[in-house]
Amino acid sequence: MVRQQTGVIDAARAAGVTWVVKVSAWQPGPDSKLSVGAHWEIEQHLRASGLRWSSLRPTGYMQNFFTGDGGFTHSGALAGPYGMGRVAYIDAYDVAACAAALLTGPLGGGDAYALTGPEALTHEEIAAKLAIPFHDLTPKKASEDLRVQGLPGWFVDDLLRLYADMAAGSMAEVTTAVRDLTGCPPRTFDEFLANR
Ligand SMILES: NC(=O)c1ccc[n+]([C@@H]2O[C@H](COP(=O)([O-])OP(=O)(O)OC[C@H]3O[C@@H](n4cnc5c(N)ncnc54)[C@H](OP(=O)(O)O)[C@@H]3O)[C@@H](O)[C@H]2O)c1
């Protein structure tokens, strides 16, 4: 991912592009794990590129509950070491709307935007909206389940750290960035479900 995206940035500069809006991740930093750490590295490359840049830093996507091999739902239930931590999931539609607003608006750049949905929900509340059971797993049980699926130990350890941060409320903040950039409030989870 780092090689691909830094390659795109270099190719953009070589082609005369002047402004890049990058989709990054929530609170990236030099010690971040997995793809969040990769996004941090790519952001550093973009900042050093000389291009005008903006970075969109979304929380988790609402779409995650329906897509992806590591889908959030297993055996018809929402199961994971989520605890009662709240997450202000965002509809990917709003991430794209922010990118479009930036790229078609007045020239700017040099800013990172923390993008969230309009409300922070527990996974128990989300499971209720999806009308499926919720199983709050202990980190130990979640780790065992992930290893049984064949995931490498280091990856499981990093993933469990992300889950622990989430359960502790690291993604519970609700920001005004989507409304500030687009002029429209971000979609609620109910609106996301209604528009699928
Ligand atoms: N999911 C989240 O909660 C979340 C939260 C914050 C940030 N993000 C970031 O948002 C981005 C998208 O996440 P996602 O969860 O939607 O990922 P995803 O489900 O894996 O989708 C990635 C998309 O990128 C396409 N793609 C991958 N490599 C490509 C390439 N070399 N050239 C052209 N297209 C390529 C894939 O196409 P194919 O389907 O054809 O393979 C797919 O449509 C990622 O950078 C991710 O780190 C995600």
Residue 73 — pLDDT band, cuts 50, 70, 90? Answer: low
Token digits of residue 1? 């991912």
Cβ–ligand 1 distance for 195 under 6 Å, the answer no
Q: What residue segments make up the domains of the chain, in order of their start? A: 2-187
Cβ–ligand 1 distance for 25 under 6 Å, the answer yes
Cβ–ligand 1 distance for 60 under 6 Å, the answer yes
Give the C-alpha separation, 118 to 177, whole Å.
10
Q: At what angle do helices 139-148 and 153-167 cross, to 10 degrees?
A: 150
- pLDDT at residue number 106: 84
Task: Kindly report, residue by residue over 136-173, the tens digit of the pLDDT.
Answer: 999 999 999 999 989 999 999 999 999 999 999 999 99
Give the C-alpha separation, 97 to 90, whole Å.
12
pLDDT of 70 over the 70 cut: no
Task: Kindly report, residue by residue over 13-26, the tens digit of the pLDDT.
Answer: 999 999 999 999 99
Give the C-alpha separation, 63 to 23, whole Å.
15
Residue 91 — pLDDT band, cuts 50, 70, 90? Answer: very high
Output the CA 22–ligand 1 centroid distance in Å: 12
pLDDT of 75 over the 90 cut: no
Q: Which residue has the higher pLDDT, 172 or 67?
A: 172
Q: Which CATH architecture has domain 2-187?
A: 3-Layer(aba) Sandwich (3.40)
- pLDDT at residue number 118: 98
Give the C-alpha separation, 104 to 54, whole Å.
13
Residue 71 — pLDDT band, cuts 50, 70, 90? Answer: low
Question: At a CB cut-off of 8 Å and minimum separation 6, what does 184 contact?
Answer: 97, 178
Closest ligand 1 atom to residue 26 Cα is 6
pLDDT of 176 over the 80 cut: yes
Output the CA 23–ligand 1 centroid distance in Å: 10
Task: Kindly report, residue by residue over 104-115, the tens digit of the pLDDT.
Answer: 988 787 899 999
Answer yes or no: are the C-beta atoms of 88 and 114 closer than 8 Å: no
Pocket residue to mutate for ligand 1, from 4, 21, 23, 56, most atoms within 8 A of Cβ: 23
- pLDDT at residue number 55: 97
